[in-house]
Amino acid sequence: MSAPAETSTRVYNGSCHCGATQYLVRLTFPPILDINAKSIRIYKCNCSTCTKMNLFHLRPIDPASDFLVLSPNPETDLGDYRTFKKVQSWYFCKECGVRCFGIGGEWETTEVDLDKWKGNEGSEGKTTKAWKLKAGEWKYEHEGKEVVRPSCYLSVNAVTVEPDQEGFSLKEWHEKGWITYVDARHREGGPKVGEPYKWGSY
């Protein structure tokens, strides 16, 4: 049996094009390609929502603990586009139009020590206002019935992570086989590495 791969955890800054939207996401590498494993996921989907919005999904292990919005207030100051069941929010900057992330769940305001959150030593205890997803079950109404999911949903658009940060390289992730392609449009196969499904994109 081969030894388990060494893991590393890094925090990345991300933003929209004009800089009004700022966020932090914490990722633990390498991803495990088993969809049932507790792991980050990096993938592209061929459904109409993802292809039309050109989304490159980057999903941390724990949405409630591994993601912070620093600006603006996502509940009031970002555009909120919802498709189909109208329960997932695909947010976009009202100034430049860039979509940085999408969520299914509820926001809560928090005061957070960013140095401590990033794992930096020597924190001075200074706190910053931020927004995070509420932990626990995600409940919503659909066709008159209550639906209960075990946890909230979060997908960061990987192309909005700032380049030139240590360990962040979409090219390298592709070469390592960490990026998968999913078929949500036809559902004819599971996640795969190498090339997208029909109507998907690299």
DSSP strand pairing (22-29 vs 41-45): unpaired
In a domain, 49, yes or no: no
Lowest mean pLDDT among 30-39, 108-117, 168-177, 179-188: 179-188
Model confidence at 6, pLDDT cuts 50, 70, 90, reads confident
- What b-and-e string marks burial along 135-165, b requiring 16 or more CB atoms within 10 Å of the CB? eeebebeeeeeeeeeebbbbbbbbebbeeee
The answer to the question of residue 138 being in a domain is yes
Residue 79 in domain: yes
- Is 200 a member of any domain? no
Task: Tell me the average pLDDT across 52-76.
Answer: 96
The domain spanning residue 108 has which CATH number? Answer: 2.170.150
Q: Does a structural domain hold residue 45?
A: no
Q: Per the structure block, which two tokens stand in for 31?
A: 């991803």
Residue 178 in domain:
no
Q: How does pLDDT run across 74-85, given as a tens digit for each residue?
A: 999 999 998 877
| Mean pLDDT, the chain, whole residue set | 89
pLDDT band at 3 (very low <50, low <70, confident <90, very high): very low
Does residue 173 lie in a domain region?
A: no
Amino acid identity, position 138: W
Residue 135 counted as domain residue = yes
Question: Tokens standing for 93?
Answer: 């900057």
Task: Compute the distance between CA of residue 68 and CA of residue 120 in angstroms, rounded to an integer.
Answer: 16
Domain that holds residue 12: 8-31+57-163
Domain count, the chain: 1
